């Protein structure tokens, strides 16, 4: 007896609150399974150590991935100004920096203003940037010297939410391709301190906010069309 495989007709978007430790593709696989195998893609990678908004596109909505990736993003991050790390986050080994006099809040705010606009940025060596056909993080983990190319990125706003030495909490609105790990490192270098991320949370991609997101355990049960947001025009 031949059994014809049912093809999912789901079409739309669903916003996921990615937990620490999962990759964006882990999220896609979880959503796809919950959606009965519907074609699924995501609109922007989020590092495994980061949390927050990952937009998953199902069915014909996957054609909207590029458009969604161009939307401005909002992040909240905590930067430890007392040390650098090779990975620019908690994954790398700490390299302490002697800071006899911590910067004032006024100095930090002035420095952050200097990073608003179009800026040159060098991605972390532990990133997914392609170097001679290979991912930079794979080269770095093999102990190879990685010469990272600089790129121009757009940062729309940086707001200081809290500052208690050595931890600096920032809200950042930025364009596509911005590395918040690089920004935290570069702010520290400019201040004459260290700089690496303690935490990173993406709170919005365009109008798709964390308030519209679903926790990952939601996808232990099936998705229906009623769960999906419409495809953007």
Which residues lie below 8 Å from residue 190, measured CB to CB, with a gap of 6+?
111, 114
Residue 220: half-sphere exposure toward Cβ, Cα within 13 Å: 4
Q: Provide the b/e sequence for 3-17 (b: ≥16 CB within 10 Å).
A: eeeeebebbbbbbbb
In the predicted model, what is the mean pLDDT of the chain? 90
Rounded (10°) CA dihedral 175, 169, 90, 28: -40
Mean pLDDT over 113-122 rounds to 96
Pick the catalytic residue from 17, 47, 88, 89.
Answer: 47
Cβ atoms of residues 76 and 85 within 8 Å: no
Query: What gap in Å lies between CA 155 and CA 72, rounded to an integer?
Result: 9
What's residue 65's pLDDT? 94
Q: Lowest-confidence range among 52-66, 103-117, 129-143, 204-218? A: 129-143
- Higher pLDDT among residues 133 and 113, named by residue: 113
The model's pTM is 0.90
- Higher pLDDT among residues 127 and 161, named by residue: 161
Give the pairing type, strands 94-96 and 83-85. Answer: antiparallel
Cβ atoms of residues 219 and 31 within 8 Å: yes
* pLDDT band of 134, cuts 50, 70, 90: low
Mean pLDDT over 73-93 rounds to 95
What's residue 158's pLDDT? 98
For residue 162, indicate whether it is catalytic. no
Q: Is 70 exceeded by the pLDDT of residue 210?
A: yes
**Would you mind telling me the total number of residues written for the chain in this entry?**
233
Q: Is 70 exceeded by the pLDDT of residue 124?
A: yes
Q: Is 90 exceeded by the pLDDT of residue 127?
A: no
What's residue 144's pLDDT? 58
Phi/psi for 145 (5° steps) reads -75, 125
Q: Is 90 exceeded by the pLDDT of residue 220?
A: yes
Query: What gap in Å lies between CA 201 and CA 77, rounded to an integer?
Result: 6
What's residue 132's pLDDT? 58
E strands present in 117-209: 117-121, 130-131, 134-135, 151-164, 167-174, 196-205, 208-209
Which residue is associated with the tokens 């596109």? Answer: 57
Mean pLDDT over 210-223 rounds to 96
Q: Which domains does the chain have, with CATH numbers?
A: 12-70+207-227 (3.30.2350.10), 73-205 (3.30.2350.10)
Q: Is 70 exceeded by the pLDDT of residue 24?
A: yes
Mean pLDDT over 92-108 rounds to 96
Cβ atoms of residues 219 and 5 within 8 Å: no
Q: What is the pLDDT of residues 143-190, one digit of tens each?
A: 555 667 789 999 999 999 999 999 999 999 999 999 999 999 999 999
């Amino acid at each position: 007896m031949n059994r014809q495989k049912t093809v999912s007709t789901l079409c739309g978007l669903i916003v996921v609150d990615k937990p620490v430790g999962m990759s964006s593709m882990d999220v896609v696989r979880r959503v796809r399974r919950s959606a009965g195998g519907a074609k699924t893609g995501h609109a922007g990678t989020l590092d495994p150590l980061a949390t927050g908004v990952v937009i998953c596109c199902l069915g014909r909505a996957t054609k909207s991935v590029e458009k969604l990736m161009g939307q401005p993003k909002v992040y909240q991050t905590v930067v430890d100004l007392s040390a650098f790390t090779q990975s620019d986050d908690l994954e790398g080994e700490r390299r302490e920096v002697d800071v006899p006099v911590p910067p004032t809040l006024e100095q930090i705010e002035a420095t952050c203003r200097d990073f608003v606009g179009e800026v040159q940025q060098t991605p972390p060596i532990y990133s997914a940037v392609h170097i001679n056909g290979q991912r930079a993080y794979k080269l770095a983990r093999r102990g190879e010297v990685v010469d990272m190319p600089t790129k121009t990125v757009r940062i729309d706003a940086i707001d200081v939410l809290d500052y208690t030495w050595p931890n600096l909490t920032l809200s950042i609105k930025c364009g596509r391709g911005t590395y918040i790990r690089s920004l935290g490192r570069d702010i520290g270098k400019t201040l004459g301190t260290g700089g690496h991320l303690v935490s990173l949370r993406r709170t919005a991609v365009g109008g798709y906010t964390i308030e519209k997101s679903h926790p990952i355990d939601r996808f232990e049960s099936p998705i229906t069309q009623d769960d999906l947001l419409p495809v953007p025009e």
